[in-house]
Amino acid sequence: MSTTPRMRAAAVLFDKDGTLFDFTRTWSAWLQEVMRQLAGGDADLVEAMAQALRFDLAEGVFFKDSPVIAGTSREAADSLCRALGRTDPDALERFLSEEAARAPLAEAVPLAPLLDSLRGAGLRLGVMTNDNEAVAHAHLAQVGVGDRFDFVAGFDSGHGAKPSPAPLLAFAAAIGLPPGQVVMVGDSTHDLQAGRAAGMMTVGVLTGPAEADELRHLADVVLPDIGHLPRWLCAIEA
């Protein structure tokens, strides 16, 4: 008797930071440079910003409750305003977005061949990030994969931000599929909470700050990285 492979889902919606890109390797050095620029040589201001953004200066890593991990760029800007004693969050958000668009990206796995494999299997692909949409497009273009996605949205795209399911449902609607045929892939509880609330399958990955035990209760499966996704997606039907 022969077996015919089938896919568990018809579409995959990816988080960006910590999922498509390794979080620590991409953002730790970036944040330290941003704080250096904003502090103008004032070590006390660097310390204040690190505390506000929940960043461990000694270890060079983010604490798990950092707004940089799952928050929006506006939340990060608001935190920096408080630390710096400034009242211009719009200007700080623009600065962060400009600097983020030039961040040295570390792909979690080689993205182009993975995405081409998924598209070759007939899957529709999207990105939903709590970063802003312009930065998301810039990052995807920077690594040469912007044209692989049917949908790219940020917190400012008009659909809301995770953990709300609204932006995830916007993806399903945009590609004309019921949410139950979509898998949400992310590295944070915000990603997976949104996926559960949207009625989607959920996959956690360990290329962000969260550990497996933090994600497992919200995920259908927890994988080391998105490179393991094709094997999980491919179920076997007799």
Predicted confidence (pLDDT) per residue in 106-161, tens digit: 999 999 999 999 999 999 999 999 999 999 999 999 999 999 999 999 999 999 99
Residues 136 and 207 in one domain: yes
The CATH number that applies at residue 140 is 3.40.50.1000
Residues 122 and 192 in one domain: yes
**Residue finishing a domain among 100, 132, 156:** 100
pTM: 0.90
| Tens of pLDDT, residues 75-86 | 999 999 999 999
Going by their DSSP bridges, the two strands 4-7 and 201-205 should be labelled as: unpaired
Residues 11 and 30 in one domain: no
Q: What CA–CA distance (Å, rounded) separates 238 from 218?
A: 29
Q: At residue 2, does pLDDT exceed 60? A: no
**Residue finishing a domain among 100, 116, 151:** 100
Give me the percent of the chain exceeding a pLDDT of 70. 96
Residue-level pLDDT at 70:
77
Residues 29 and 120 in one domain: no
Sign of CA dihedral 159, 115, 205, 53: negative
Q: Element (H or E) spanning 3, and its range?
A: none
Q: What is the mean pLDDT of the chain?
A: 94
- Res. 5 pLDDT band, cuts 50 70 90: low
**Residue finishing a domain among 100, 124, 142:** 100
Residue-level pLDDT at 6:
82
Structure tokens at 164: 């709300």
CB atoms within 10 A of CB 230: 14
Residues 54 and 93 in one domain: yes
Residues 201 and 126 in one domain: yes
Tally of domains within the chain: 2
Residues 42 and 66 in one domain: yes
Residue-level pLDDT at 238:
39
Residue-level pLDDT at 195:
98
Q: At residue 1, does pLDDT exceed 50? A: no
162, β-bridge pairs: none
Residues 208 and 123 in one domain: yes
The range of the structural domain enclosing residue 90 comes to 24-100
